[in-house]
Structure 1
């Protein structure tokens, strides 16, 4: 009853506020359940310009995208962590893709990636172009005082200069002891082009500050069926069991804590030679159009990656058992800091005037890397050459790409990465087909080679280079509403942790087949969104994956009161039992294990009401409904998902 009254109050308030805003937001496309103020994130549909046109590009990608206003997928458009990721029970905790995705980048890598799904980086940076200042606000509140805040603002100061700012706050005390997360994420982007359009500059800056409470999982799953422990914070955990966690939205004291700070700045400058023309639109309007033929591009990049772990009141048995330490009970600390300075010079040619998606790119890059640990410092450098050919035709039916990168000298000498992509849009009936090939030969991430803590330092100088090949076929069809992706991996010298501190490589080459299929079924106002994935390992592969992962959303969708787009239904997620990776708190890494299977007692269930009124969206959700009739599901050995939780999220965008 309270939820119903809350929904009614929200509807009345939003309609009153929208009446004040009026019709300043234009209709730029369609999302789920009816008309929308912005277009889906595809960049392939046309739109009618009213008061604002806003697009963005990713660095190095010539395709324009539009902001997604859909309310269909809470994970994608609001939480921004895909549904196929598993995490250690609490929002913001270490996460990994349940659909196996090997790390396929040549060159130096520190190896700390468990918080990557939440963070900003240069690859997912958005360089905006907008005709009016645009602001987007997000706020979510949930059970156990969970909160998430999002802010986006972008505006063109002139036609030639844009700046964008983003902030994300993730705060979740959790249902179990010593489990709190408190993350702060910042990003600034900008672009500038000169009046004659020969000079272009792009800026991308991010700062990710992760604070994660480590509890090592619960001590026994027998507690779950004991009525004495219906309040999950009374269950004994392995780390931080007797310490006090003090947490609030802006100040959190975590007894056993992983801190991971990432910052990076990229500054790209381009100077073009080509041909320009003055285009006369009418008697009073004209603009200058410049088509580059040859470009010199310089990119400066600096990254700072700082990982630390601290337990001030350590549990003797846990560290002695899991890390094999002759443990004295003193404070446990670990610290790794990496700084990378990169200089890249590229030469780019555009063979066909007016098509900047058709180009040749050759260049070289020099990297300086510095590592600072508890017991030693190191310095080394890398020299790499790279090239790319890209041809995305102006009719957008063909898209071809061939890339190569080779490390000639330095710590990562011999690393390389070659890839090729061919995409063809057939027609409305057959949709788009996509072929992709990628082969990488790389030095294992440094965390597998060396790790330093206050109790021990681990070395592994026996690791050879990993070699991973990916073959992919993909098809998507907007008319028939399906997506199909088939991946086939061939993996040699796969590097993994076989326990909490020791890294090894797989003894032989192995293969992985992965098939993912998504389909939208519709019957009048009723919808079924089905996602199904199949995975199978061939050979002695030291990875564990569920054979089947699936998500289903059964919804009722309708347009009410002229401007209310409603979507309500049930969401269910399930995967078959498998030996899910364990987690090592000190190293911050997921660990291969074959002793304990993780299985679902019941599918993860959520009931939801999503709606949008013009520029306002709301997400009302009851999650983990399965805990009403079954015990909590496990994300990893002794790591549980939360109890039933209520979440209310709002998303509101403005034209300033």
Structure 2
């Protein structure tokens, strides 16, 4: 089925390409943008050729596609540069910039593949005047491949649909390390002819398969031994003596973590307001409708599962790490859960013609049902929520205040309140933002209960987490910098203190975080600098590097009218720290204070990025530091890959 869907998409795109041979593409523009920015694709388009925008669900701001070639991570891999992963593309990942989970209500707690996932929150609802397609393909060392397909079109003025598919396949350099992920998304938007009724659809399906090797058996010095230039000859903790069969669409892993995530969200709106027919010219009239009151109904179903399987387990590893009285039988863990929610909201627009200025109030009913190896759960929640938003028409002020409270049910007492004030000062001073958030939440379910074929453990002593975030940020396009200062105040922080035991931090603690992105330019020479500082005050039981930084030094020029060239080097580095360990059975990162992880040399990459009209290409040599230094480590026993060559293309076209 996966192959059939992919082939169909490629055939459709090929037909569109054939139909447009000889046509002239518009230049979709694009300068560089920092990796610490999100949705910054404010690029010029040839309006005679293509006009395409998208929105996030629940967000009144339009965004444009980003055609920049400056940042391989954000525009191609689509993973922030501050994320670390366990050595291989698609492997369990976490952000070295501390980002606590701040959503109230039920959460299962399995987040190691979040950077690669489609969700309702990152869904894009498109509006386009012509059908738009995008193909993405990357090939790298060790048969690594990545495929991306995107297509969206307005079938009429009232209906748009979008389809997106991403695949990550990376066998890796070490044994039992392969990843094979498939993620799908379908979006839709419909509005009636009189523009009173609107509907939005978001559907996703994420399928993650990750080979687990438990890290290297020996220390990091083994990587300097010339006998092990072929990294697959190095002994690992899991799957060491089992065969791994890998292929682009079929992978057999001796020890693996699998996660399945699917969700469908249908939002329906009916508006009361006033409409006018606007006369454009002698042959064209445009009907404009301004709502002043809206009833909105949302229906959502999410189905998720997380499993672990080791058919030929290593007795020493499980006895040592999990303290099991182990007899060598298959190790298996399986958790499944489903959430169904119904939400009704009433929305008022005080100012005609400005849908970014509104007041809303609503209620939601949730049903959560889970099935585990030796137990099941079934409970309900009742939630009330409200929001005030005022984004002025002149785009200078943006004010938001919203909150939700769990009135009854398993998560009774959970809540979240946020406030945001943004002001555009002028071209020289740019935008400044103030942000506040406070969350009180039940710890994620994986901290309270986990079951496998060897043991089940419970923790009923956990109190509610309370996390406060204060943020000041500034965005300045003229001076080309982004600055953010975060201050977190955290109580009852929940974590794993070893491979299978959860607990909470003994006291209130805080964390200061400062991030700065700056772009320096002299003629055709550019320096993109990202730097972050983090410091924990108190007994926080979290480990973060004090300094994290990334630098891109590049030559950029436009040649022969159509060739946008960027070539240079990239370096990434962080100070040594007690990086989190990883527990394969639970699929969780684990707090530890016994082994510091340090960079032997900065992660180095040389690159040539270029764009010719609608075609972008990325040629990269990564991990150059392994030619003269030991591989850097993402966590204890988890080294990054050796030198890696990558070639990628991003190709977009229209009908």
Query: How many Å separate the matches in 2 of 1:431 and 1:440?
Result: 30
State the SS of the aligned residue for 2:73. helix
Q: Distance in 2 between matches of 1:194 and 1:122?
A: 23
Deviation by residue 1:585-644 (Cα, 9 ceiling, x = unmatched): 000000000000000011000000000000000000000000000111100000010000
Aligned to 2:9: none
Give the Cα–Cα distance (whole angstroms) in 1 for the partners of residues 132 and 21 of structure 2: 14
The residue number in structure 2 matching 1:350 is 349
In 2, Cα distance between the equivalents of 1:512 and 1:376?
Answer: 38
Give runs of ≥4 in structure 1 deviating > 6 Å.
17-20
Paired position in structure 1 for 2:587? 588
- Matched residue SS, 1:252: coil
**Structure 1: distance between partners of 2:384 and 2:42:** 33
Change (3 A) 1:122 1:19: closer
Distance 1:205 1:296 in 2: 22
Quote the residue 1:111 is aligned against.
109
Show the 5 A alignment for 1:277-426.
Answer: 277-426=276-425
Q: What CA deviation, in whole Å up to 9, does each residue of 1:114-173 have, x standing for no partner?
A: 000001000000000000000000000000000000000000000100000000000000
Q: Answer whether contact 2:43 2:66 (CA < 8 A) is retained.
A: no
Determine the C-alpha separation between the residues in 1 that align with 2:19 and 2:649: 18
Q: CA shift at 1:32, angstroms?
A: 4.2
1:191 aligned residue? 189
Deviation digits for residues 321-341 of structure 1 (CA, Å, limit 9, x no counterpart)? 000000000000000001000
Alpha-carbon shift at residue 21 of structure 1 (Å): 3.8
Change (3 A) 1:215 1:340: same
- The question of whether the paired residues in 1 share the 8 Å contact of 2:27 and 2:614 is answered with no
Is the Cα–Cα contact under 8 Å of residues 223 and 630 in structure 2 kept in the other structure? yes
Secondary structure of the structure 1 residue equivalent to 2:30: strand
Deviations 1:500-529 (A, max 9, x none): 000000000000000000100011110000
TM-score, structure 1 length as denominator? 0.95
Contact 2:424 2:430 in 1 (8 A): yes
Compute the TM-score of the two structures, normalised by the length of structure 2. 0.95
| Structure 2 match to 1:258 | 257
2:26 is aligned with 1:26: yes
Distance 1:246 1:46 in 2: 46
CA shift in 2, pair 1:18/1:163, >3 Å? closer
CA offsets, 1:428-448, max 9 Å, x none?
000000000000000000000
In the alignment, the residues of structure 2 paired with residue 25 and residue 66 of structure 1 have an alpha-carbon distance, to the nearest angstrom, of 17
How many angstroms apart in 1 are the aligned matches of 2:346 and 2:440? 25
1:601 match = 600
Q: Distance in 2 between matches of 1:157 and 1:651?
A: 25
Is the 1:27–1:50 Cα contact (8 Å) retained in structure 2? no
- Number of the residue aligned with 1:200: 198
Contact 1:187 1:207 in 2 (8 A): yes
Deviation at 1:52, TM superposition (A): 1.3
Q: Within the alignment, does 1:621 sit opposite 2:620 as a pair?
A: yes
- Where does residue 440 of structure 1 map in the other structure? 439
Shift of the alpha carbon at 1:25?
3.0
The alpha-carbon deviation at position 28 of structure 1 amounts to 4.6
**Structure 1 residue 344 displacement after superposition:** 0.3
State the SS of the aligned residue for 1:76: helix
How many correspondences in the alignment?
634
- How far off its partner does 1:48 sit? 5.2
1:63: which partner in 2? 61
- Whether the 8 Å CA contact 1:474–1:483 is kept in 2: the answer is yes
* Alignment correspondent of 1:636: 635
The separation in 1 between residues aligned to 2:50 and 2:229, in whole angstroms, is: 52
Of 139, 161, 164 in structure 2, the residue corresponding to residue 163 of structure 1 is 161
The answer for the alignment partner of 2:213 in structure 1 is 215
Which whole-Å CA distance do the structure 1 matches of 2:308 and 2:26 have between them? 49
Q: Following the alignment from structure 2 to structure 1, what is the Cα–Cα distance between the partners of residues 32 and 328?
A: 56
Counterpart Cα distance in 1 of 2:268 and 2:505: 43
* Separation in 2, partners of 1:57, 1:247: 38
Partner deviation per Cα, 1:455-487 (whole Å, 9 max, x = no partner): 000100000000000000000100000000000
Please give the per-residue CA displacement for 1:168-204, whole angstroms capped at 9, x wherever unaligned: 0000000000000000000000000000000000000
- 1:225 offset after TM fit, Å? 1.9
CA–CA distance in structure 1, aligned partners of residues 145 and 45 of structure 2: 35
CA distance in 2, matches of 1:45, 1:583: 40
Of 120, 123, 128, which aligns to 2:121? 123
Is 1:571 the counterpart of 2:570? The answer is yes
1:3 aligned partner: none
Q: How big is the shift at 1:51?
A: 1.5
Change (3 A) 1:413 1:19: closer
- Measured in 2, the distance between the counterparts of 1:232 and 1:149 equals 26
The Cα shift of 1:230 comes to 1.0
Q: Report the 3-state secondary structure (helix = DSSP H, G, I; strand = E; otherwise coil) of the residue aligned with 2:543.
A: coil
- Please list every run of 5 or more consecutive structure 1 residues that lacks an aligned counterpart in the other structure: 1-16, 34-39
Q: Who is 2:51 aligned against?
A: 53
CA contact (8 A) 2:368 2:379 kept: yes
Give the CA deviation at 1:31: 2.8
Matches within 5 A, 1:538-553: 538-553=537-552
Contact preservation (8 Å) 1:298, 1:345:
yes
SS in structure 2 opposite 1:83? coil
Give the corresponding residue for 1:6: none
Q: SS where residue 246 of structure 1 aligns? A: coil
Separation in 1, partners of 2:456, 2:233: 35
Match of 2:4 in 1: none
Aligned 1:142-181 pairs, distance under 5 A: 142-181=140-179
The answer as to whether partners of 1:43 and 1:64 remain within 8 angstroms in 2 is no
